[in-house]
Amino acid sequence: MKQSRLKQEDTEWIKEHPKEFFEEFKSTLKLVNNFSHLLEPYRVNGQKKEYKKRFKELLKQEREKDGRTNQ
């Protein structure tokens, strides 16, 4: 079986707060849809490191635009 990337306490929190997790997931998905076209060249070319780096940068920028400061 494949090991989870999440820590044990993160998994426990998700199990205890499924509604909050799902709401956070939906809001993140909306943000990602705003900039997914910028990531497409990295995905197509198989540049995983650059894709991950750029994804984190863009997500941070979108969350700041959205007025959110966490993560």
| 54 Cβ neighbours under 8 A, 6+ residues apart | 38, 39, 42
Looking at the predicted structure, is the pLDDT value of residue 50 above 60?
yes
Per the listing, tokens 């700041």 go with 64
pLDDT tens per residue, range 20-42: 999 989 888 888 888 888 888 88
pLDDT at 20: 93
Both structure tokens of 16: 């205890």
Q: Supply the pTM of this predicted model.
A: 0.61
**pLDDT value, residue 19:** 95
Q: What integer pLDDT is reported at residue 28 of this predicted model?
A: 84
Task: Reduce the DSSP state of residue 41 to 3 states and report it.
Answer: helix
43 Cβ neighbours under 8 A, 6+ residues apart: 51
